[in-house]
Amino acid sequence: MLPDHQTLRIPGPTPIPPSVQKAMAQGMIGHRSSDFKQLLQEISPRLKPIFGTTHEVLLLTNSGTAGLEAAVVNSLQPHDEVLVLVTGAFGERFVKICETYQAHVHRLDVQLGRSVQPEQVSEFLKQYPKVKAVFVTYCETSTAVLNPVAEIATAIHDVSDALVIVDGVSCVGAVPMQMDEWGIDIVVTGSQKAFMLPTGLSFIAISEKAQKIIDQNKQPRFYLDLRKYRDSIKEFSTPFTPAVSLIQGLQQTLNLFEEEGLEQVFKRHVLMRDMTRAACRALNLPLLTSDEDASPTVTAIRPIDFQADELRGILKKEFGITIAGGQQQLQGKIFRLGHMGYCAPSDVLQYISAVEIALKRLKVEIELGQGLKAAQEVYYHAI
């Protein structure tokens, strides 16, 4: 392996396209200059289709988790009742954030590797009519589950006036998001996933209903005060110093999205998921999720005849390929293959081939090429 040849196949951060790297390497501009104002003016309307909204998408210089915290601190007051749908580690994170701000948290826990069913949510909410907000993770990265947020939102609205707040960090930009049509009130994502940028930006879209609640909220907040960002973006500015280089890179990311076409972006991610899952089945690698629940951005495998972390170590040592392990209860029990953002079907063929060699190193009884063939068949018949 070449010493500096490294490949990221984790569900974030994801690889950065060369053209985006070049855009970020431009000369610095002042964040209060007319050049930066023009940059935001050009970018702002182009973000809206990705979120499926007519509302402004706010840009914050922070991580995706800070974006989630901003959603909580702006929409809730202490002792508000909330429902958190917990399908893994990032549902747990929403619980911790809400509890930090003294919300009264009700949990709906789902078996790891399964998605939330809309009827579960509506039945749960009937027991708690005072719930002010429901928090759901769109893609639960830790289990590779894609929750049906459109149907969940409908189920919520059928029985409650609660806000619907979605963590879209690990999938927005790679899967459809029709925020306005689906009745979602707040959507948060981050720059280091499908947006193909380094960590450092969060994106937050807010419905009119949620904005009214935010305006009336007496909860103290300063840097994460979304009212400041909303008022600033109207003037194509930011309330605090932004990550200028990342926003220059974002402009090129949007160029790439538009050049490929969002629908084709979504289809590419579904294809990579299907190729990966077909290969795993051919290799008798147990998938953690069903086809119905599987995310287009990451695939989780729970091996039974070898150690997940040993396979990860071989891929890293021999090929410079980094894949993800498990989190919390799944630590050491699963490995996860990221296929998100700057990733193509050819990359899937590469990591499947490398996984096969790693399996042979681990004395797993497979025939080289059997997983690769299955992935190739999926690709061949899809194109």
Query: pLDDT per residue over 70-111, tens digit each?
Result: 999 999 999 999 999 999 999 999 999 999 999 999 999 999
Q: Is the pLDDT of residue 24 over 90?
A: yes
Q: Which two tokens stand for residue 71?
A: 């959603």
With a threshold of 0.95, does the pTM exceed it?
A: yes
Q: What percent of the chain has pLDDT over 90?
A: 98
Per-residue pLDDT, 1: 67
Rounded CA gap, 301 and 284, in Å? 10
Q: Is the pLDDT of residue 377 over 90?
A: yes
Q: With bands split at pLDDT 50, 70 and 90, how would you rate the model's confidence at 31?
A: very high
Per-residue pLDDT, 2: 76
In this structure, are residues 133 and 209 in contact, taking their beta carbons and an 8 Å threshold? no
Mean pLDDT of the chain: 97
Per-residue pLDDT, 5: 84
Strands 186-190 and 202-206: antiparallel
Q: Give the residue with greater pLDDT, 234 vs 4.
A: 234
Alpha helix segments (H runs only) across the chain: 18-24, 34-51, 64-75, 89-100, 118-127, 149-159, 179-182, 208-216, 226-233, 244-260, 262-282, 308-314, 345-361, 370-382
In this structure, which amino acid lies at residue 335? Answer: F
Q: With bands split at pLDDT 50, 70 and 90, how would you rate the model's confidence at 4?
A: confident
Please compute the mean of the pLDDT values over residues 140-164 and round it to a whole number.
98
- Structural domains in the chain, sorted by start: 7-14+262-382 (3.90.1150.10), 18-258 (3.40.640.10)
Please compute the mean of the pLDDT values over residues 138-157 and round it to a whole number.
98
Please compute the mean of the pLDDT values over residues 26-51 and round it to a whole number.
97
Rounded CA gap, 130 and 164, in Å? 14
> Residue 104's CB: how many other CB atoms inside 10 A?
16
Burial of 227 (0-12, 13-18, 19+ CB in 10 A): middle
Q: Which of 237, 259, 219, 251 is nearest to 72 (CA)?
A: 219
